[in-house]
Amino acid sequence: MNLPMNSPVPTLSDTQKTLVSLICAIANADEVIQPAEFETMLDEFSILFALKPADRPALRSQLEMLAKLPLTIESLVLQLKTDAEKELALKLGYTVIQADGQAGEAATINPKEKVAYRTLVDRLALPETVVDQIEWAVDQEFQQAPSLLSLLTTPLHKFFQA
């Protein structure tokens, strides 16, 4: 009887690591991220990036370690290689800061998250028209999307499936 060889431990790609780290850096700019929210994000991202269900625990563990690293937005942006990656990073960053502002008409964006987002925008150095288009699209999506996680995972899924 031949025993199956151990399959390799699944790993995140460099781009996946960078994008998840950017989301975490912006979300944690105010040093407040709800534990339940964090756990849900880890679960959703492990489902999104897993090629098969058996890979999820290992990926979730990698995501948890990655999210706790003290990485700067400046250093993470340097790892983005293509305009598509930069535009996705902008979309995800804007989605994160807008999440708090969607709670009600008078709700405002957390000032520390806004500073983190402005740092992201400045470092990405995308044309102003691209920034405006992405922000407008996210604003429209917030009016229709069921949840923040949906707004974060849908574009990531599309990007990595393309």
Q: What is the pLDDT of residue 110?
A: 79
Q: Report if residue 29 sits inside a domain.
A: yes
Q: What is the pLDDT of residue 3?
A: 39
Q: Report if residue 73 sits inside a domain.
A: yes
- For residue 131, the Cα-to-chain-centroid distance in whole angstroms is 17
Q: What is the pLDDT of residue 103?
A: 47
pLDDT at 102 over 70: no
pLDDT at 7 over 70: no
Q: What is the pLDDT of residue 11?
A: 83
Question: In which domain, by residue range, is 70 found?
Answer: 14-161
Q: Of 137 and 159, which is predicted with more confidence? A: 137
Q: What is the pLDDT of residue 121?
A: 97
- Number of independent structural domains in the chain: 1
Comparing 104-108, 115-119, 154-158, which segment has the lowest mean pLDDT?
104-108
Q: What is the CATH number of the domain that holds 120?
A: 1.10.3680
Q: What is the pLDDT of residue 115?
A: 93
Q: Report if residue 3 sits inside a domain.
A: no
39-42 contacts at long range (C-beta below 8 A, 24 or more positions apart): 40/149, 41/67, 41/149, 41/152, 42/67
